[in-house]
A and B are shown apart, each in its own frame.
Chain A
Amino acid sequence: MTCTRRDVLRAIGLAALGGAGLGGAGLRLALAQDVRDAAHGRYALVIDLPRWAGLDPAVRRRCVDACHRAHNVPDLSTERSPLPRAERRERHAIRWIREVGFEAAFAAQGHPLLAATLREAAVPVLCNHCDRPPCVRVCPTRATWRRDDGAVMMDMHRCIGCRYCVMACPYGARSFNFRDPRPGLAEIDPGFPTRTRGVVEKCSFCAERLEAGGIPACVEALAAELGEGSPFTFGQVGDGPVARALAERFTITRKPELGTSPHVFYAVG
């Protein structure tokens, strides 16, 4: 029998309707994933930015040091490095958590008349442990993956050092070991491995501490010094202090327009 133009148009119309139905179902499934994560226990960090900015620089330095010491992160670039001066290189620096300026952290969310406390703040930035991490998507060996509890993990055994994840991360959270890190370590903590030249590393939400029922080293260091006045609140999004902080404060994330859904929140108000 002949196939007329009307038949073709009718078939295309029906296919389009069916495709839209499937697309709608897919979208519903994707949204349900976020709800499931919240129920499963999804970790997040809320950083009180004005409180952090008001801290003594030595306290802020101790928070960063707590992380780097606990994980044998080398110092290859600053004046405190064990390396001889001639060998220090800023481009070799490894930083799991660091401070950057407000403009660098929140490029599109500042303006020239921003309050001075925010404009001059040193913002702590780290891996955001996104819901849809671009680094995980591009890793060719699955050396980085997103765990059910939200932490984006690294497997140094499988990393081949291609640095695709470093390129993909929109937040500059990842560092590559351009050289052997051990000469940059004044002392090595035997409780945690070091890395070797040729792999990428980043904040892991202290996954090994979480598995043992603890909290991340940076959060613990600030809580030990400041107690309730600590700017870092860590926990699960569904309940507890993080849920309270998110409900009571005005929080922003870095580069929300990219759709990565980061889970390090900055309370700015």
Chain B
Amino acid sequence: MTNSGPPRPPAYFASRVFSIAVAVAVGLATSPFWYGAAAGGRPARPAPAIAEAAGEACVLPLDRIRVEHPALLAAWRDEAVREGRRMRGAAGHGAAGLEKSLTGTCLRCHADRAAFCDACHTDLAVAPTCWECHVDPAGVAGGGRR
């Protein structure tokens, strides 16, 4: 057989119909983006009603606590349980100040976790497992078990 060079592409790749089909497919695939842009950005979602805190200032400023509370609780967990440094404060273990405790400190001010924690979490479909073990005083008041 004579060597005639690389195989030429079949005719349909070069056809106009094929180009139009590709353009329509790309348009459909990216439709969520240009549709959202045409609708004016992210659609409005109702902001969850978070119960007001009852106490003095939070352990972190508002903008930081919103973002960092998962990391803060995880750090508290390891420091309080594994290292025995339960009290916040410069000297660490035994220093006066707030206890690194979800029920003891956070819920002292944000008393009802259903009105506070769950308001945002259920709205965002986040289900942290804190309350499987940690006690929500409002939930167990009067003999309840949650």
Q: List 28 A-B contacts (CB under 8 A).
A: A145-B82, A147-B84, A153-B81, A153-B82, A155-B81, A156-B133, A157-B81, A182-B145, A183-B145, A187-B140, A190-B103, A190-B136, A191-B103, A191-B104, A192-B135, A193-B134, A193-B135, A194-B133, A195-B133, A196-B129, A196-B132, A196-B133, A207-B84, A208-B86, A211-B84, A211-B86, A211-B93, A211-B94
Residue A188 is within 8 A (CB to CB) of chain B in the complex: yes
Give A72 Cβ to nearest chain B Cβ, in Å: 8
Contact with A along B63-104 (1 / 0, CB 8 A): 000000000000001000110101000000110000000011
Does more than half of chain A's interface fall in helix, strand or loop, or is it mixed?
A: loop
B124-146 CB contacts (< 8 Å) to partner A: 129, 132-137, 140, 143, 145-146
Interfacial chain B residues near A72, Cβ < 8 Å: 135
Residue A246 is within 8 A (CB to CB) of chain B in the complex: no
Cα A194 to Cα B132 with chains together (Å): 8
Interfacial chain A residues near B132, Cβ < 8 Å: 196
Residue A83 is within 8 A (CB to CB) of chain B in the complex: no
For chain B, the bracket of interface size reads: 20 to 34
For chain A, the bracket of interface size reads: 20 to 34
Q: Which residues of B line the A interface, CB within 8 A?
A: 77, 81-82, 84, 86, 93-94, 103-104, 129, 132-137, 140, 143, 145-146
Cα A237 to Cα B87 with chains together (Å): 27
Q: Which residues of A line the B interface, CB within 8 A?
A: 72, 145, 147, 153, 155-157, 182-183, 185, 187-196, 207-208, 211
| Contact of A185 with B145 at beta-carbon distance under 8 Å, contacts A190-B140, A211-B94 already known | yes
